[in-house]
Amino acid sequence: MLTRTVFGRTFTYSHCVGRGGGGGSGFSAPMDVAFGADGAVYVLSHSSEVNPSSRVSKVSLGDRSGEEEFILQFGGHGSGTGEFLRTTSLALDKDQNVYVADEYLNRISVFDKLGNYLGNWGTPGSGEGEINRPWGLTFDKEDNLWMVDSGNGRVQVFTKEGKFLSTWGNEGSGEGELDMP
């Protein structure tokens, strides 16, 4: 049995969840996962022009026999509300709302734990609070969203409503600089 501890949390491999597929209970190019407080796992399927399967799937982990339960999926390929063009990361806030980064739309889309679309935020650009190719997302203990702003070579911190708080890092390849993080 394989066991790993990451940031004080221990994970033990027991079985695989999901299967390949363009819809339903399958995943298509899984890009990121987040663990919900209810024991469910949110899986972000990456999308591109070649693979327009962007969505978030919510599944229970099931037991060691591999009998997971497909709960729901939400999102979809497109540029409209609640849709994605090129997904890169997801994170859950303390209320279990799901935040999804889209590097082509330069925005963060927000859904509740039932997959209902709550809104989005983000302004393309390079100024403070503006976004260029968002990638990694995580929430801190104060429920602020930390975002890797890949195209701008920095990390930015926002409230979960999208209000800019701070930034660090500079674009470049020298010591202490970030090159497409």
The predicted-structure confidence for 133-155, as pLDDT tens digits, reads as follows 999 999 999 999 999 999 999 99
- Euclidean distance between CA atoms 84 and 111, whole angstroms: 13
pLDDT band at 23 (very low <50, low <70, confident <90, very high): low
Looking at domain 28-168, does it have CATH number 2.120.10.30? yes
Structure tokens at 169: 């890092």
- Number of helices and strands in the chain (H, E): 0, 16
For the entire predicted model, the pTM comes to 0.88
Higher pLDDT, 77 or 51: 77
- pLDDT exceeds 90 at position 66: no
Please count the other Cβ atoms lying within 10 Å of the Cβ belonging to residue 29.
Answer: 15
- pLDDT exceeds 80 at position 98: yes
- pLDDT exceeds 90 at position 92: yes
- Specify the pLDDT at position 7: 77
Residue ranges of domains in the chain: 28-168
